[in-house]
């Protein structure tokens, strides 16, 4: 729980918010006073997440939204404006990540299309539907959730390409919307302990030494960064990419470890 109240009177729509990072973002912005619409393709799970937050006295509602469907997105945005009174913040957290085929050339078109449609085009649909309302609010902000997969090869070809495209979308939207008073930024998480890693604690433990800060991320780490970029504390920040990755992309821990004990004259 935070004592900050940076979103008092703000209407907030979060996609992919039934679980994981999206759910943590919804909680954080609601704790800071926002009126939050939790949206997800899985409506029963979204309703369960929203109900849990309402039990804590937070202003949270749920609505079913499939970001792969334009009509569904437009309905969610219209509902947000109706029940929240305004739409001031859009957080694009919905994503699709299909496991890779054993060989690159065996990857099916359907998996590629699905990951791009949900992860990249879905964010585009949401931004397009929300932008007039974000302009009208006079303090509109878009924060999208990217991935370190956009920067290096960590597998998941289609998901990685979609997240890379999300960076470009963020910059072009920032350029277009700045004169209309709307900011657009991107957070780039590393490995985050979500339900996608359920039952894979050994894998998370194996990854921990690769992170200079000594641990994988938690959803709350990403939510804190999203809250900053969505708030007026970031009023002069737009078009930027904020790495929230424990130092993974800044420091090559494997390289540094390999050099330990090697005489300096032999080091590259």
* Coil/strand/helix, residue 60: strand
Q: What is the pLDDT of residue 262?
A: 65
- Cβ-contact 39, 46 below 8 angstroms: yes
Among the listed residues 168, 30, 176, the one whose alpha carbon sits nearest the alpha carbon of residue 89: 30
Residues labelled catalytic: 159, 163
- pTM given for the model: 0.95
* CA dist 250 → 128, 139, 192, 213 (Å): 33, 32, 17, 11
What residue ranges do the domains of the chain occupy?
11-266
CA separation for the pair 213, 119 (Å, rounded): 28
CA separation for the pair 42, 34 (Å, rounded): 22
DSSP annotation of 99 reads P
- Cβ-contact 67, 125 below 8 angstroms: yes
Q: What is the pLDDT of residue 92?
A: 98
Tokens of 24: 């943590």
Residue range 11-266, CATH number: 3.40.50.720
- H helices of 85-218, in order, are 109-116, 122-137, 157-177, 201-207
Q: What is the pLDDT of residue 188?
A: 98
**Number of residues assigned to the chain:** 268
Phi, psi for residue 50 in degrees, rounded to 5 = -65, -40
CA separation for the pair 67, 52 (Å, rounded): 24
- What is the CB-side half-sphere exposure of residue 159 using CA atoms within 13 A? 18
- One digit per residue, the tens of pLDDT, for the chain of length 268 reads 788 999 999 999 999 999 999 999 999 999 999 999 999 999 999 999 999 999 999 999 999 999 999 999 999 999 999 999 999 999 999 999 999 999 999 999 999 999 999 999 999 999 999 999 999 999 999 999 999 999 999 999 999 999 999 999 999 999 999 999 999 999 999 999 998 898 899 999 999 999 999 999 999 999 999 999 999 999 999 999 999 999 999 999 888 888 886 666 555 5
Q: What is the pLDDT of residue 20?
A: 97
Among the listed residues 134, 55, 56, the one whose alpha carbon sits nearest the alpha carbon of residue 92: 134
What residues contact residue 205 under an 8 Å CB cut-off, 6+ apart?
Answer: none
Cα angle: 7, vertex 8, 13; to 5 degrees: 50
């Amino acid at each position: 729980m935070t004592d900050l109240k940076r979103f008092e009177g703000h209407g907030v729509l979060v996609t992919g918010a039934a679980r994981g990072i999206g759910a943590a973002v919804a909680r954080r912005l609601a704790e800071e006073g926002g009126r939050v619409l939790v949206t997800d393709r899985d409506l029963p799970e979204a309703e369960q997440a929203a109900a849990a937050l309402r039990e804590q006295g937070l202003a949270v509602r749920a609505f079913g939204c499939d970001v792969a469907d334009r009509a569904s997105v437009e309905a969610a945005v219209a509902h947000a404006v109706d029940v929240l009174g305004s739409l001031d913040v859009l957080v694009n957290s919905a994503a699709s990540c299909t496991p890779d085929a054993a060989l690159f050339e065996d990857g099916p078109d359907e998996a590629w299309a699905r990951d791009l449609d949900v992860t990249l085009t879905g964010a585009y649909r949401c931004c397009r539907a929300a932008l007039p309302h974000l302009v009208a609010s006079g303090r509109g902000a878009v924060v999208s959730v990217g991935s370190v997969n956009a920067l290096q090869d960590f597998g998941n070809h289609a998901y990685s390409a979609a997240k890379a495209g999300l960076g470009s979308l963020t910059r072009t939207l920032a350029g277009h919307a700045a004169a209309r008073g709307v900011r657009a930024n991107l957070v780039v998480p590393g490995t985050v302990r979500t339900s996608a890693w359920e039952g894979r604690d050994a894998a998370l433990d194996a990854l921990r030494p690769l992170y200079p800060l000594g641990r994988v991320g938690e959803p709350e780490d990403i939510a804190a960064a999203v809250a900053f970029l969505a708030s007026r504390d970031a009023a002069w920040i737009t078009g930027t990419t904020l790495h929230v990755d424990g130092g993974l992309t800044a420091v090559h821990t494997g390289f540094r470890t390999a050099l330990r004990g090697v005489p300096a004259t032999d080091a590259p």
